[in-house]
Structure 1
Amino acid sequence: MEAYANIKLVKATAKRFRRYAQKLAPTQSEALDTLIDAHLKLAKESGQKSKSVQSIMDRSDTNADRIIALLRKIEKDQIKPMLGMLQVLFGYSSAQEQSGPKKGRSKAGGPMTETDFKKAFAVIDLKEEKLKLAADLELARREIHGLLSKKTEVVKPTLGRPYIKLQLYPEELKTLIAKYKPKT
């Protein structure tokens, strides 16, 4: 004898299924098996996926696109400064070799001086600092967005204007205030 399991359904849906199952098969289990098999076969033949599977696929495609965009940004912002540093060190780029001296060379076209190197490294340091600040800003934005979306609630009293309730422990609030306090 086979073991049985309970499935909770809304009464109206259960009644509809029982009426349909009587017409389709001798038992409700066989009717449900037939429906599931038909659904899987139809999905396989048509190549379509259910809405939930399709939404998961769309999300993964979106995440992959975000990762690709992030990698491209990293290539642009982190690899290009290295290329720029090399160009400054050697005084030219391969694309503009014929056009004459580059930015990094001294005015007379001679060898680079120590000040030229210092300027080049200062530019590289500024770019790295800019990238770090941008990453910190993005992290702070995500943290604040998460806080606002998960820990806030709109309260609509019967009298008066609606207001926002912040669901934090006092220690969490003190930590956030200290973390985002403007530097003077």
Structure 2
Amino acid sequence: MTGEAASSPVSRTRIKNRRKRYLDLHPEYFTSANLELADPLLYDRLIRRFQTPAEREAEGRQKGYSGTLEADLLRSEAKLNALAHPDPNQTFSYRRGPDGEILAEEKDEVPKDKEEGYAKWKWEMEMRFVRGGDADFEYEKVDESEEYDDRGVEEQEAEEKWFDEEESNFVNEEGLRRSKSRELQGETGIQDF
């Protein structure tokens, strides 16, 4: 979708819905090692902090020496950049402590356990994907494919809209149609005692 059509609110919503649907159908997207490199600080805070030494070793073997070195370098550079240029839109903040140490977060930002950390990380990666922030992904395959449209939801929304716009008519005893907007007179159908 290009040009004017892609800029309409309906088109942007459809594209975001398609991207979300893609993630729902392809959960393997979240197992990619490249997602660690997408936001190394976030990965460090939400995933690595809960890994056991054995899990870190297994992850390191999977990535290899160069992959581990790349992740460590990117994480270090990202920490220095976050200290030098604090971003108010960043999910988590870094600041220097009284002795010059790097303080990673406030206490309320710390996930309670591994599951909560993974859930927060997955949410952030999902929002990044839906916004179009994954530079390595070919979004056109998803954005221009009707395969990722949720037809059931769209049909239900169209039906609800039709019913909302439809004016109700009633048939009286003489068989005449009356609009709901006209005031009814006579018996109400409510029984008084």
- The TM tier, using the shorter chain, reads under 0.3
Name which one, 1 or 2, has greater alpha-carbon Rg: 1
TM-score by length of 2: 0.25
Between Structure 1 and Structure 2, the one with more helix by share is: 1
